[in-house]
């Protein structure tokens, strides 16, 4: 059973790496094709959809094409992944993420920790939202007062479009949490101890913004001659790797770990979804209302970057949120599972 669970973990990582590789291969092709379509549309009129695509391609940069190609390949490969996970998997009626705690946590390791109906779920969601939104709102105010960001005077009132921003934040948070904390973390929990499973899911979660941060080094790159190998070198080796790890990877990894911890402690995704919704919403509002100030001092740049989520100060905020999550979910699930056999 444990070997089969480990095989499912490997399949998930094959999907993740495979979609990234295909995205890297497809991006230069899509970039050149899009630019060619944009130039062609200037002399020839197409139908409405093609004209819109041509207009977008003309204004889009290399990062925009990658953000389109990578999710597209991940989505296309998701369907074979689902079937692959179900092959010979009759032990859970085709749902390898319907799990309970692993053997080391005191429960039957053949099934794992199920996502349970939680009467406190909506309350957890609202509390999680308030904790993340409030914490990062305070951090944002501190960064403005510290001079890392300045208010954008041309920005319309934040109340304008606030419901749309909230809808976007909630929708994105729901999709991310269902996939990362319900499905991916569920598969990982069945194969390893909770701490390792949560950390592994957080690694995948933090890898996305870390890879995208490599485009800061892609300014001025000639997309017409760019190969997939060169793009890979830029995204994984471009810029100061220590700075990217400190400023981008560690805060996102820590927050991914907190989200996974919240999911595991409550056996639901209500709390983690609320936390992520607050995290996303405050970033949207902060990005609309402020502009980052270039910090020439390298050490000062470690503490605050161009996003409210990046840097050592936001990392400290994530630590505070993690402590609050522990208080909210007070109790020892390991001990309780061992004593009750649940």
Q: Does pLDDT of 251 surpass 60?
A: yes
Higher pLDDT, 202 or 233: 202
Q: Does pLDDT of 95 surpass 90?
A: no
Query: Which pLDDT score is estimated for 288?
Result: 86
Bridge partners of residue 291, in order along the sequence: 150
Q: Does pLDDT of 99 surpass 50?
A: no
Contact 296/67 with Cβ under 8 angstroms? no
Query: Which pLDDT score is estimated for 274?
Result: 96
Query: Rounded to 5 degrees, what are φ and ψ at 249?
Result: -65, -50
Task: Look at residues 194, 179, 338 and name the one whose alpha carbon lies nearest to residue 262.
Answer: 194
Q: Give the chain's end-to-end CA distance (angstroms, integer).
A: 19
Contact 166/281 with Cβ under 8 angstroms? yes
Query: Which pLDDT score is estimated for 59?
Result: 87
Q: Which of 87-96, 137-146, 278-287 has the lowest mean pLDDT?
A: 87-96
Task: Look at residues 177, 206, 201 and name the one whose alpha carbon lies nearest to residue 189.
Answer: 201
Banded model confidence at residue 42, pLDDT cuts 50, 70, 90: confident
pTM: 0.85
Query: Which pLDDT score is estimated for 249?
Result: 96
């Amino acid at each position: 059973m444990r070997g089969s669970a480990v095989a499912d973990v490997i399949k998930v990582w094959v999907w993740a790496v495979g979609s990234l590789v295909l995205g890297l291969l497809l991006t230069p092709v899509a970039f050149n094709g899009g630019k060619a379509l944009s130039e062609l549309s200037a002399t020839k009129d197409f139908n409405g959809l093609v004209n819109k695509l041509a207009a977008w391609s003309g204004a889009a940069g290399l990062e925009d094409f990658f953000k389109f190609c990578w999710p597209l390949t991940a989505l296309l490969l998701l369907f074979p992944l689902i079937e692959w996970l179900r092959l010979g998997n009759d032990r859970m009626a085709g749902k390898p993420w319907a799990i309970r705690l692993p053997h080391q946590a005191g429960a039957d390791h053949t099934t794992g920790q199920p996502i349970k109906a939680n009467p406190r779920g909506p309350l957890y969601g609202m509390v999680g939202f308030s904790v993340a939104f409030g914490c990062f709102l305070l951090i944002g105010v501190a960064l403005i007062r510290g001079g890392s960001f300045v208010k954008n005077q041309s920005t319309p009132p934040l109340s304008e479009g606030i419901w749309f921003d909230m809808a976007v934040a909630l929708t994105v948070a729901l999709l991310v949490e269902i996939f990362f904390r319900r499905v991916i973390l569920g598969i990982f929990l069945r194969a390893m101890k909770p701490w390792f499973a949560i950390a592994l899911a957080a690694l995948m979660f933090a890898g996305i913004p870390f890879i995208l941060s490599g485009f800061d080094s892609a300014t001025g790159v000639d997309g017409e001659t760019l190969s997939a190998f060169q793009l890979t070198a830029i995204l994984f080796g471009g810029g100061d790797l220590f700075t990217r790890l400190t400023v981008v990877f560690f805060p996102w990894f820590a927050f991914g770990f907190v989200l996974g911890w919240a999911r595991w402690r409550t056996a639901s995704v209500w709390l983690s979804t609320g936390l992520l919704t607050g995290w996303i919403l405050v970033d949207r509002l902060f990005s609309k209302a402020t502009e980052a100030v270039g910090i020439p001092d390298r050490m000062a740049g470690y503490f605050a970057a161009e996003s409210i989520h990046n840097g050592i100060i936001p990392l400290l905020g994530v630590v505070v949120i993690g402590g609050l999550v522990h208080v909210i979910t007070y109790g020892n699930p390991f001990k309780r599972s061992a004593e009750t056999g649940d």
